[in-house]
Chains A and B, each alone.
Chain A
Amino acid sequence: DAGVIQSPRHEVTEMGQEVTLRCKPISGHNSLFWYRQTMMRGLELLIYFNNNVPIDDSGMPEDRFSAKMPNASFSTLKIQPSEPRDSAVYFCASSLQREGEQFFGPGTRLTVL
């Protein structure tokens, strides 16, 4: 069982560049979550999908952030243009159902210079 897969594991980019983070959830899981974690703000839910449909994106900080889930096995989180304050660890998680145990991927550590 591969668990939740995220790529890249580390990303260093310059301000203004586009950043795309990728996630493959556990097969059979219906819910997918994107989180951002920083020391100051802790773990924040950005958006979650149920059966590939975005249900709640109220946590997305601004229009520079967008997320898609074109099929049950793949999701992306895009930041365009990136800013230094976007530097954080971004986690993807999946679960069988929204209220159940969430399985987290290893995270993508993003640094925007």
Chain B
Amino acid sequence: RKEVEQDPGPFNVPEGATVAFNCTYSNSASQSFFWYRQDCRKEPKLLMSVYSSGNEDGRFTAQLNRASQYISLLIRDSKLSDSATYLCVVNSASGDDKIIFGKGTRLHILP
């Protein structure tokens, strides 16, 4: 099993729809999790951290499921400007002390 896995997509979603994607991780000792957004030919930027209790920021909701070892990102009322690649980041911070980025999920919001 890969250390961090994401569905590469692309997800083609009509504007206004809700879309969700997951990221699975293999190291059960992983301690911190993030979602980054990367626009075409740009650098990644932090979208949101993922807390054990889940967290919401406007139209975006992030969840952590430790039992099944995945994190999720839900985008409601999607906008054209949400089109980007979404990278999950898993930080073990113990043992092998690794920071691992997923390869990303491409999202296209269609007008």
- Enumerate chain B residues within 8 angstroms of A106, measured Cβ to Cβ: 42-43
**In the complex where A48-B99, A104-B43 touch, is A42 in contact with B32 (Cβ < 8 A)?**
no
A 47-98 contacts with B by CB, 8 A: 48, 56, 91, 98
B102 touches which of A42, A102, A104, A107 (Cβ 8 Å): A42
* Residue A99 CB within 8 A of the other chain: yes
Q: Is the CB of B44 within 8 A of A104?
A: yes
Q: Is the CB of B93 within 8 A of A99?
A: yes
Interface size bucket, B side?
A: 20 to 34
* Residue A45 CB within 8 A of the other chain: yes
Q: Is the CB of B46 within 8 A of A101?
A: yes
Bound CA–CA A56/B101 (angstroms): 16
**In the complex where A99-B93, A104-B43, A104-B44 touch, is A42 in contact with B99 (Cβ < 8 A)?**
no
- Enumerate chain B residues within 8 angstroms of A35, measured Cβ to Cβ: 101
Q: Is the CB of B43 within 8 A of A107?
A: yes
Closest to A59 in B: B98
* Residue A105 CB within 8 A of the other chain: yes
Residues of B participating in the A interface, judged by any CB pair closer than 8 Å: 31-32, 34, 42-46, 49, 87, 91, 93, 97-104
Residues of A participating in the B interface, judged by any CB pair closer than 8 Å: 33, 35, 41-45, 48, 56, 91, 98-99, 101-102, 104-107
